[in-house]
Amino acid sequence: AQSVTQLGSHVSVSEGALVLLRCNYSSSVPPYLFWYVQYPNQGLQLLLKYTSAATLVKGINGFEAEFKKSETSFHLTKPSAHMSDAAEYFCAVSASYGGATNKLIFGTGTLLAVQP
Amino acid sequence: DTGVSQDPRHKITKRGQNVTFRCDPISEHNRLYWYRQTLGQGPEFLTYFQNEAQLEKSRLLSDRFSAERPKGSFSTLEIQRTEQGDSAMYLCASSLGEGNTIYFGEGSWLTVV
C-alpha cells in the first residue's frame, strides 16, 4: 500500500522568501514521487518527478525536491517565492515496478499563499 | 492544443439525473485515468484503461458509475441517478505506458442540486 502525507494544509510566505512544502511518503516498494501544481479551476500540472535516478530533482518554475529515503520525505522547495507561485500543490506517489498500475496516490494538498 | 481535453467543463444537474463526461487523451497515449477531486482534497483514483481494457477500478466507483474506452482513444464516464455526494471535479489523465509522466486535463466540474 502507498500513501503520502502533506504537512500543513496552508502555507503563507512573503514574496522573495524561501518556499518549503513538506511531503512524507509510505510505500512497500521503491516509489516514484511527484509534485503537481493546481491553479484555481484548472487541472494539475507536473512540477517535477523522482524516478530513482538523482535524489535532487529540479523542476519547472525554479522548484526542486530532494528524495530522502531515510526520512521517507520528498519536500518541495523554491529559494525565492513569486506572486505567481500562489496555488495548491499536491505530492503524489506511485509504485515503480512489479506490475503496478502506475496510478498516482495523492496527498491532500498544500495551499500556498504569497504575500507582497 | 494537444493536451488532455475534457467536456463539458461544467455541468449542473438535478439529483437523480444521469450525466456523462468525455475525455480525449493526448494522441497515442495508451493509458487513460479517471480521478475525482472534492473541495479541499487531493484527487482520488477511480479507474484506468490500457488501450480499451479497463484494468482497475477503485472501490469508490459504485455501481452507478461506468467508464468506457471503446476504441482505445477517447473515454466516457457516466454517472447514473446522480446524488449530491457526486458533486466534485472529475479529472481525466493520460500517459504513454507505465512509468511515464501522467498528464491531466482541466477537469469537469459536476454540481448536483
DSSP state of A5: E
Summarize the confidence of residues A59-86 as an average pLDDT. 96
Q: With a cut of 80, say whether residue A90 has pLDDT above it.
A: yes
pLDDT-based confidence at residue A97 (cuts at 50, 70, 90): low
How many contacts does A have with B, using Cβ atoms within 8 A? 56
Q: Which of B44, B48, B42 is nearest to B25 (CA)?
A: B48
What local confidence, expressed as pLDDT, does residue B80 receive? 97
Q: Which three cell numbers stand for residue A38?
A: 493546481
Query: Please, where are the H alpha helices in A1-116?
Result: none
Q: Which of A101, A105, A108 should we substitute to test contact with B (largest number of B Cβ atoms within 10 Å)?
A: A101
Q: Residue A40 burial (CB < 10 Å; 0-12/13-18/19+)?
A: exposed
Question: B86 falls in which pLDDT band (50, 70, 90)?
Answer: very high
pLDDT at B61: 86
